[in-house]
Amino acid sequence: MITTPIVPRVSETDGAGHINNVFVPIWFEAGRREIFRILTPDLDFARWRIALVNMNVDYEAQIFFQQDAEVRTWIERVGTKSFTVGEEIWQSGRRCARGTTVYVYFNYDIQKSEPIPNDIAEGLSRLSPPEL
């Protein structure tokens, strides 16, 4: 599991006074940096190899501007051509959001999905879920 600290920004709040819901996917993506590095070690977009195909988020509690937050990120499943990321946002000992995001391994040059290479599948598998 990867943990990524997030300090909420004023620009991420909304008129209802809390962190706006659209910033949850943004924080989740911020939490995937080390996953991106497994796929593209130098993080060069010219060698980017994944495309996002599904995102599902449960919003469980309001996220406040005033306190630091944490994104928890792990690999839920590695398939032949796709994998699922599990992710949560915590704040003050409370889980505020949880989600899953599915990526396919994708060759942008030929615009087709491809099998995930073995070494990458192994690297992803090492990011195991939090223990219950």
Binding stretches for a second copy (CB under 8 A): 4, 7, 9-11, 13-18, 20-23, 25-26, 29-30, 33, 36, 42-45, 48, 51-59, 62, 65-66, 108
Query: Measured from the CB atom, is 41 or 122 closer to a second copy?
Result: 41
- Determine how many CB atoms are found less than 10 A away from the CB of residue 25: 16
Taking the complex as a whole, the smallest distance from the CB of residue 130 to a second copy amounts, in Å, to 21
Residue of 125, 132, 129 lying closest to 38 (CA atoms): 125
Integer Cα distance of 71 and 65 in angstroms: 15
Of 67 and 122, which CB lies nearer to a second copy in the complex structure?
67
- Which residue lies nearer to a second copy by CB, 15 or 93? 15
Residue with tokens 């600290």: 5
b or e along 121-130 (b: 16 or more beta carbons within 10 Å of the residue's beta carbon)?
Answer: bebbeebeee
With respect to a second copy, which residue has the nearer C-beta, 56 or 122?
56
- Taking the least distance from each CB to a second copy, the nearer of 81 and 122 is 81
The 10 Å Cβ neighbour count of residue 91 is 20
Contact 78, 116 (CB under 8 A): yes
In the complex, the smallest distance separating the C-beta of residue 49 from a second copy, rounded to whole angstroms, is: 10
Q: How far is the CB of 131 from a second copy (least distance, A)?
A: 26
We find the least distance from the C-beta atom of residue 32 to a second copy, in angstroms, to be 8
